[in-house]
Every structure is written in structure tokens, then in C-alpha cells.
Amino acid sequence: MLQEVRVGLLPALRDARGEEVLYEIHTALRIETVEAVRTVKVYRFEGIDAEAARFLAERLLCEVVFQEYRVNEPLITDADRLLEVAYRPGVMNPEAGSLLKAAGDLGVEGLLAADSSVEYAFYGRFTDEELATITRRLLVNETIQQVVREKPRTLLLGGERGRTETIPVRTMSDAELMALSQDRLFLNLEEMRLIQEYFRKLGRDPTDAEVEILAQTWSEHCVHKTFKARIIVDGREKKPFLTRLREATARVARPGQVLSAFVDNSGVMAFYDGWALCGKVETHNAPSAIEPYGGAATGSGGVFRDVMGTGQGAKVIASTDIFCFAPPDTPPEEVPAGCLHPHYLLRRVVAGVRDYGNRMGIPTNNGSVHFHPDFRAKPTVIVGAYGLIPATRAQKGRPRPGDAVVAVGGRTGRDGIHGATFSSAAMTDRTMTVNAQAVQIGHAIEEKRMADALLAARDEDLIRAITDCGAGGFASAVGEMGAETGALIYLDRAPLKYSGLAPWEILLSESQERMVAAVAPEDVARFMEICREHNVEATVLGEFTDTGRFEAYYGEEKVLDLEMGFLHHGLPQRVLSCSHTPGEPEEPEIPVPGDWEGVCCRVLSHLNVCSKEPIVRVYDHGVQGTNALPPYGGVGGVGPNDAVVLTPLLDRSYAAVIAHGLNPVLNRIDAYWGGIWAAAEAVSNAVAVGADPEELVLIDNFIWPVPEGEYLAQLDRAVDACVDFSLALKLPFISGKDSLSSTYRGRDAVIHIPPVLCISVFGRLPDAGKTVSADFKSAGNLLVLVGDRREEELGGSVYYDLHGELGRSVPRVDLGRLPAVFRAVHGAIASGAVLAAHDVSEGGLLTAVAEMAFGGGCGAEINLPEKTRPDFYLFNETAGCFVLELASGTAPAELFAGVPYQVLGRTVPGPELRFSHGGRPLFTVSLERLQSAYRRPMKEVFGA
């Protein structure tokens, strides 16, 4: 019999978690009938008696100074309704392991299994339908959770192991091949026929494991078919996307700067004193769309492992988060079938990133959130990770025949099966139900202890090669590591979360927090010892061979035997053609505003401009003791900064700078200039804090609708934009990722999510002391605008959007003049002449100046040139432009000789912004009013 212990707060105490749920019920669901919510923690134990359960309650689960408990009886008896929410059987509850450990530490014997869940007590006169809405929209994500309606009989999951089946592909018709592919393999007919042909030649049918591993290895997610394809645009053949990007990098990378590009799990550049920095940016859109908390958390976990799996292992030093959602106030009826509401998505994605990064002890210091109604079908969730690694350990490792294949970290379960193939597929209204098992929750502590163990092993030089078990699990990790040698593994050796997995499931499972290391035979014992000391499970699965084959056994049974050559190179290069047909959006006619104050407030409270501080505050940005420029600073900590500055070596002032740029709406108009804008914005953000524009490297992330027709042509133009930018600025791309499935196909609608090109940038600077923040430092200082722009280019701007217009005139950043602008701004900052700097982006000059003033605690007076249209001047969003506050005694004409600049005005003591036009007063607005508009939208969502 299971023992149940319920623990809750003493009745007199406020229940902050319950109040949080109540707040969401009132604000997100607008259900006012619920008056109070309290929460109770429920623990269940199998294998012990009530006496032992009571002992655990007293010693472990409950602190009587503020809590009370009951064993095998209810705790709250006066509620109008009780509702218990637990993880579904098979979804790993991270707390279970701790319960077992602590019970063992306390000497409790016989405990077989433990679980925990939450019971909500509702008070008020609500209806059953309202409670059902609360349950469905706030408390339970049926993908991973369920309402507990009766006490479970057992916590133990069992089952016979699944068998290996043979799939008779040799005799299948085309229709049968496609039926096999649908919802499971996601390969097209041509690819299915290749598999058929291969096995016909071998004279046997494949096992399920073989078909699955081929589908996984050949998935868009893993092999990037589109980026490697031959591309024919308007009848003319162009080089594959990936080739173009790599060739640009080869041309511009300076000797000694780039240590590893495109070949490893992250890209590596040189730092100082024998150290190197690495960076990787990933998307986790599909999992986040159906289970945002777990999807975002495991997205973070995955990209951290990419950094941990670089060279012989790097230490993760920073994380970034970049999201795109539909507006949080989207009416529920506009959310397509099978999709979650953006308000819920936003809050849960933020919570996922928060919990994983904070628990791992990785500062999340840089990010942004963008909103557009067309993200209602699928959000974009981008997570980046950056690492520190000795330069001598930064090259991708190569296993040697005879090296042990060692699985490290978490156990393997059924979770995440088909993640790689699934994330390559377009979302449909069936996605939520059919692919639910592709999602899982993360266990950050498992990953943290693994990271600790791996760094210890690296420092003893015990790791020959290492990689992450990400999409495709062991199949992908071992298959890639052994691509040039061969590998033989025994699937029955893999530690499992529960019995009952078929061999192919063990091979393909995407259970989180696992990595695979190649360890020389003589180092295996010490490697295992280090893992044990860190409470990390490690298992020798097999060895790397010299056979050129990927072989796997389950016991005596051979379940996999494929040539590495066919697995990795069997897929023919695709040929994709498209023609570019530019749309012809209209340029709107906008009247010059009369109510300036109102317009400024509307710009600042636009979702793409407003303060994201409530999000940033839930991320730990100070852990590791390395932060030298926080995301928000200045007076009261309310002024946003453009990039993060870290000092990853605690006893040195060497700085790492990290920033990014994107603006999806511009790609709706023109993917080339939208791409240039994103890259220019990324580098501007870095340069605005003082980064040296020659000491940076770039990472690309393309999140695109399924690349067919016009969307392929736009992708082609976006890649060209990256290449042109790279060559013009002499900045190399060193890592990148494409996710080409942002299309939603419902029963009655097709939604193309806006194409997203996110450019991330990171680099080094010898002295963190020579960086600047964005907050004004004092009154009476000169303000200048540096950079090149045509004010009338407002296409895709927030200002147009306020008028319900998209427009056509995307800002076209002049790549010829941009390098000189960057150099001049960097030079001015390095010379100490710049007190504050901020780049101009969404919301334009007005926003940049207002944000500098918020953190500065002082205002500004600004004179707009006579000949300009004041609204265009204030709201143009051309990237590559900067507002700088200059120290007294500096001469802008000297600092900015040869680059476009204008003197804007001065900082002033009063808490207001005063604008004049051609010397005549235009309007004055109080900072208080602007700031309240600026902070309102996210305050409403997050209640801070």
C-alpha cells in the first residue's frame, strides 16, 4: 500500500504560491469567482509503513515552525474543491530521486519508490466549467501532467521489454512506405525509396531500429538537407547556403582568432592567456509549442550540453534567451486548434528557462522578446549558451578504435522519442496528441553534477571526445562520433528509468541530461571513479571500432548493422529551386502627430519596445561572480543595457561581450534587408557597450517556414545578407542552426510564422573597465547621434505598426559605411570620452533616449533639425546608429571625423525630455509618464 503524506502551510500563514495561482486566474483567465487558493504538497511512498512515513514527515518533509502535515488523510477539509495535479506515469519527476536519497540518509529501509505532486484547494462560488478552464489552461498540461482522481495503487512502472521487429520495406508499395513515414519517420517518398533500395540490395528487411535511425539521421533537424542542397534561384544555380556561409568565414577569419567553426557542437574563438570562448545558439520551438515549461527548460539543457560537449569539454558561463510570441492578450478564439495560448506560453517558457539556468548556476544575461500575431501557431524559442575552455582542449575530439563508448548522466526512458524527426515537421492540429511523447521536463541538477564531473575528467585529460545526447539520442551521438571509425554498442547495458523499452527506443530516446564520451581503455577506471564521486551514473556501452559500421546488440540479438557511409552519406544532395517574386506592400501616408506625448507613450508601451525587466529579474544574472554589466542598470536598476559584459576569469579583467539582434517583422517585407538589420543590430548592441568590432564572431539561427517557393527564395536572400554582412564587416560566422518548420497546417488554415533570422555575437575585450552602460551619467553633457540613416525608411517600424501599417521601406543599412561607424564608436568609448551609449533599434531615437534617461535619473533636451519630419526623426529604427553621452571637453568633430553624426542636445537635470524642432519648442514629456507606459505591458503579464 502507498503511504501518503500531505504537507501545507499553517493556516494562519499567507500561501504565496496559492496567491500566484489566484492572480493568474483573475488576470489571465478573468475568472473572478474564485476567492482563494491554497496549495498542499502530496508525497507518496511505496514499500514503507505508516510509521516510517510519519518519521519522514517529521524529519524531512515538514517543518513545524511554519508547516503542518497529515499521514494518509486530507490536510485541507474546508475547501470548496480540491484538485491534485501530478506528473503522468513515465514522466520523470526530478524530486523522486531526492526523496529516495534523503530517506536513505535518514536510515529508512525498504523504500521502493517515491513521488510528489501538488494539491490545490479552491475557495469561492465558481462553476464546474470555470474549474475545468482553470485546470486546462493553468494547472495541467496534459502532455506531461494529469489530475489525480484516485489514489494510485503503485508507483512502479513495469512492463515486458518491447521486441525488435522487422519492417518488410522491400515489398512495400509507395503508399505503404508513406503510411510508415507519416507521424513517425517524417521522410519523403524519395528518401523512403532509398531505404527500400538499400535493403533490397542487402537482401534483407531492416529492423525497426534501423529504419528509425535512418529517419533520425536523415531528418532535417540533424542533417540540414536544405542548407546543404543545390539551390536554383530564378533559373540560376547558386552555392548551397552552408557553403556560402563557410566560405565567407574562411575569407574573413583572422589567423588565431577562430579556433573551431561549424565542425563541433559550438564555435570557438580565442580569448586570452590560453583560454578560448565558445558559443552555440539553438531553437526549441516545437517542444515549447506543446509543453512550454519542459520545452524551454530542455532547450536550455540541450544548448548547455552543446557547450559542455565542445572540444574535450567547456564550462558554461552564460546563457541567452530570445523568444517570439503572439501578443499575450490575443483573444482565445484566434489561437489555432492544437495550439496553446500565448499568455500561458510566455509565462511557462520564461519559467522553464529560469529554472534550468538558475539551477545550473549559469547566468542568463542577454535576451529579448518579440511579439507578432502570426506567432500564435508556434512560438520561436531561441536559447544560447557560451563557454570557457582551455585553447588546447578546444578542437573537436576524434575517437580511436578501441576507445570505450561511455554513456554519462541521466537514465534512458521513453521520453523524447522522435524529437528529431518531429521538430523537422510542420505543426498540425494533430501535433499535440500524436507527438506528445516527444516532450519531457528537464532535470537541471542531473546536468549540473554531470558538468562538474566532466570538467574534473577533462582537467585530468581523460576525455578523447565528447558529445551531447540531443536529438536522436544514442543513435545520433554514437553515430556521429563513430562516423569515421565504426561503433559497437550493447543497448541492454544502458541504465533505464523503467523497464519495458524496446531496443529501438533505447537507441532513439531523447531523455535529457545524457552525454557520450570516448574514453581510452586505460582511462576508463579513473573516469568512472570521478563520475561516482559526483553522484553521476556512467556506463560503458561498447566501443569504437574500425569496421566502418554502426552495430548494436540487445543481449544476443543484433538489432542494428548499418554502414556508417550509408547512414551519413546515403542521402543524395537535394536540388531546390525557387523564384523570387518580391511582394509589393504599400508605403502608407501617416499624418504628423498632434498628441506627441500620447504617441511617445504608445511607442514605449508597444510590446516590442516595452520593458522586459519582470522577465529578466527571474533569471540569476550574478551567479559565477562574473557580471560586469547587468541587463538592467542605472538608478533604480530600470535602464536596459545593450549587451552583457562578463569577466569569466575572476582574477583578470578580460571581458567577454555577448549580444544579439533580430526583427522578424522586417523579413515579412524583405528578408535581405531584414537580415542585414538583424546582423547590424547584433553588432551594434555589442559595440554600444564598448566591444571592439574586430574582435567579434557571429552565430546564425534561421527559423523559417517550410522552405518552399517564396519562402525558399527569401531564405536565399537572408543567407546572402549574412554573407554580405560577414564580408563587409570582416566578421566570421562560426556556428549556426536552421529550423525550417515554422508552418502550421490546421484543418482549415495554413499559417506561415514570420521568418526569423537571429544573429548572435560574442567577442573579447582586454579590459572590462573600458566598457560603458546606457544610463545617462549626469546633467549638462552633450548628446550625439552617430550613424547613417534615411529617416523616411520606416517600413516594419513600431511607429507604422501603431497605425496598423507594415509599409515597404525597410531601413537599408549601408554596409559600406557601417564598419567606420563601428570603429569610431568603439574608439570613442575606448578613449574614455563616452559616458553612456545606447544603440537605436525598435522604437527609434525616442526610445533610445528615454531608456538612457530612465536609468540616468536625469532628462534631456533635444533639437531636431529644421528640415526633418519630426516623427520620422524620432521613430526611425535603422540599426547601426548610436546615441552617445559625451564627457565634457570632448570634441565630437574629432571623435567622429569621417562618419555621419549629429549633435542632438544635452542631458538636463529635470526628469523630462524636451524636444524642439528647428529651435522651436515641439513638446515636453515627463519621464515618469513615459516610464509608466514602458513598464506597464509586462507588469500586467507577470504581476511585478
Partner 1 sequence: MVLRTDGTNCDVETAYAFEQAGGSPRLVHVNQLRAGKERLSAYRILAIPGGFSYGDDVLSGKILAVELTSFLREEIRRFVAAGGLILGICNGFQVLVRTGLLPLGGIGPVRTTLMVNDSARFECRWVRLRVEESPCVFTRGAAGRVVEFQVAHGEGRFFTDTATLNEIEKRGLVTFRYVDAGGRPTQDYPDNPNGSLNAIAGITDPSGRIMGLMPHPERNILRHHHPNWRRLKDYVPAGRFIFENAVATARREG
Which residue bears the cell 551609449?
A: 837
* 535 in contact with partner 1 (CB under 8 A): yes
Q: How many CA atoms lie within 13 A of 628 on its CB side?
A: 23
From the CB of 356, what's the least distance to partner 1, in Å?
Answer: 11
Which region among 213-221, 237-245, 627-635, 698-706 touches partner 1 (by CB under 8 A)? 627-635
* 622 in contact with partner 1 (CB under 8 A): yes
Instruction: Residue 256: count other Cβ atoms within 10 Å of its Cβ.
Output: 9
From the CB of 703, what's the least distance to partner 1, in Å?
Answer: 28
Which grid cell is 207?
Answer: 529492423
Of the candidates 739, 721, 713, the one whose C-alpha atom is nearest the C-alpha of residue 661 is 721
* 620 in contact with partner 1 (CB under 8 A): yes
From the CB of 831, what's the least distance to partner 1, in Å?
Answer: 15
From the CB of 271, what's the least distance to partner 1, in Å?
Answer: 17
* 625 in contact with partner 1 (CB under 8 A): yes
* 448 in contact with partner 1 (CB under 8 A): yes
Question: Which CB sits closer to partner 1, 618 or 802?
Answer: 618
Instruction: Residue 176: count other Cβ atoms within 10 Å of its Cβ.
Output: 13
Spell out the SS3 assignment of 858-914: CEEEEEECCCCCHHHHHHCCCCCCEEEEECCCCCHHHHCCCCCEEEEEEEECCCEEE
Which residue bears the cell 506627441?
A: 596
Q: Which of 195, 501, 772, 821 binds partner 1 (CB under 8 A)?
A: 772
Q: Which of 26, 81, 238, 617 binds partner 1 (CB under 8 A)?
A: 617
SS3 279: strand
From the CB of 852, what's the least distance to partner 1, in Å?
Answer: 13
| Cα 746 from Cα 421, distance rounded (Å) | 19
| Cα 458 from Cα 454, distance rounded (Å) | 6
* 36 in contact with partner 1 (CB under 8 A): no
* 411 in contact with partner 1 (CB under 8 A): no
Q: Which of 35, 89, 106, 460 binds partner 1 (CB under 8 A)?
A: 106
Burial class (CB in 10 A: 0-12, 13-18, 19+), 52: buried
* 27 in contact with partner 1 (CB under 8 A): no
* 819 in contact with partner 1 (CB under 8 A): no
Of the candidates 857, 821, 828, 851, the one whose C-alpha atom is nearest the C-alpha of residue 838 is 851
Question: Which CB sits closer to partner 1, 105 or 928?
Answer: 105
Instruction: Residue 888: count other Cβ atoms within 10 Å of its Cβ.
Output: 9
| Cα 334 from Cα 322, distance rounded (Å) | 24
* 107 in contact with partner 1 (CB under 8 A): yes
Which region among 96-104, 206-214, 704-712, 818-826 touches partner 1 (by CB under 8 A)? 96-104
Which region among 15-23, 227-235, 272-280, 332-340 touches partner 1 (by CB under 8 A)? 15-23
From the CB of 43, what's the least distance to partner 1, in Å?
Answer: 8
Q: How many residues bind partner 1 (CB under 8 A)?
A: 64
From the CB of 327, what's the least distance to partner 1, in Å?
Answer: 22
Binding mask of the shown chain, residues 475 to 514, with x at each position contacting partner 1 by CB under 8 A: ----------------------------------------
> Is 641 in contact with 854 (CB distance < 8 Å)?
no
Binding mask of the shown chain, residues 341 to 360, with x at each position contacting partner 1 by CB under 8 A: -------------x---xxx
Which grid cell is 925?
Answer: 514629456
Of the candidates 302, 402, 432, 411, the one whose C-alpha atom is nearest the C-alpha of residue 356 is 302
Sheet of strand 236-238, all strands in order from the earlier edge strand to the far edge: 236-238, 230-233, 575-578
From the CB of 459, what's the least distance to partner 1, in Å?
Answer: 13
* 526 in contact with partner 1 (CB under 8 A): no
Which grid cell is 175?
Answer: 503508399
Q: How big is the CA angle at 644 (ends 653 and 304), to the nearest 5 degrees? A: 100
- Residue 253: DSSP 8-state: P
From the CB of 159, what's the least distance to partner 1, in Å?
Answer: 27
Q: Which of residues 631-670 bind partner 1 (CB under 8 A)?
A: 633-635, 637, 647, 650-651, 653
| Cα 28 from Cα 25, distance rounded (Å) | 6
| Cα 715 from Cα 7, distance rounded (Å) | 54
Which region among 190-198, 447-455, 486-494, 565-573 touches partner 1 (by CB under 8 A)? 447-455
Question: Which CB sits closer to partner 1, 444 or 697?
Answer: 444
Q: Each residue of 346-383: b (16+ CB within 10 Å) or e? A: bbbbbebbbbbbbbbebbbbbbbbbbbebbbbbbbbbb
Amino acid at 198: Y
Torsion angle in degrees (nearest 10) through CA of 193, 240, 249, 307: -30
Question: Which CB sits closer to partner 1, 538 or 813?
Answer: 538
| Cα 215 from Cα 7, distance rounded (Å) | 47
Question: Which CB sits closer to partner 1, 395 or 535?
Answer: 535
* 911 in contact with partner 1 (CB under 8 A): no
Q: Which of 167, 436, 618, 922 binds partner 1 (CB under 8 A)?
A: 618
Could you tell me whether strands 859-864 and 901-908 are parallel, antiparallel, or unpaired per DSSP bridges?
antiparallel
Binding mask of the shown chain, residues 53 to 92, with x at each position contacting partner 1 by CB under 8 A: ------xxx-xxxx--------------------------
Q: Which of 85, 118, 445, 520 binds partner 1 (CB under 8 A)?
A: 445
| Cα 933 from Cα 944, distance rounded (Å) | 14
Which region among 10-18, 227-235, 702-710, 757-765 touches partner 1 (by CB under 8 A)? 10-18
Catalytic site residues? 221, 284
Of the candidates 902, 868, 886, the one whose C-alpha atom is nearest the C-alpha of residue 788 is 902
- Residue 496: DSSP 8-state: B
* 611 in contact with partner 1 (CB under 8 A): no
Which region among 30-38, 560-568, 768-776, 875-883 touches partner 1 (by CB under 8 A)? 768-776
Which region among 84-92, 269-277, 766-774, 926-934 touches partner 1 (by CB under 8 A)? 766-774
From the CB of 889, what's the least distance to partner 1, in Å?
Answer: 17
From the CB of 439, what's the least distance to partner 1, in Å?
Answer: 20
* 939 in contact with partner 1 (CB under 8 A): no
Of the candidates 324, 6, 23, the one whose C-alpha atom is nearest the C-alpha of residue 940 is 23
For the chain, first and last CA: distance in Å?
A: 44
Question: Which CB sits closer to partner 1, 94 or 503?
Answer: 94
* 606 in contact with partner 1 (CB under 8 A): no
From the CB of 682, what's the least distance to partner 1, in Å?
Answer: 23
Q: Which of residues 267-296 bind partner 1 (CB under 8 A)?
A: none
* 16 in contact with partner 1 (CB under 8 A): yes
Which region among 94-102, 198-206, 571-579, 726-734 touches partner 1 (by CB under 8 A)? 94-102
> Is 27 in contact with 943 (CB distance < 8 Å)?
yes
No. of H helices and E strands in the chain? Answer: 31, 40
Sequence-distant (6+) residues with CB within 8 A of 197 are none
Burial class (CB in 10 A: 0-12, 13-18, 19+), 693: buried
From the CB of 777, what's the least distance to partner 1, in Å?
Answer: 6
Could you tell me whether strands 427-428 and 743-745 are parallel, antiparallel, or unpaired per DSSP bridges?
parallel
* 147 in contact with partner 1 (CB under 8 A): no
Distance of CA 464 to the CA centre of its chain: 29
* 621 in contact with partner 1 (CB under 8 A): yes
Question: Which CB sits closer to partner 1, 115 or 695?
Answer: 115
Q: Which residues bind partner 1 (CB under 8 A)?
A: 13-14, 16-17, 19-20, 59-61, 63-66, 94-95, 98-99, 101-102, 105-107, 354, 358-361, 443-445, 448-449, 452, 533-535, 617-628, 630, 633-635, 637, 647, 650-651, 653, 768-769, 772-773, 775, 777, 944
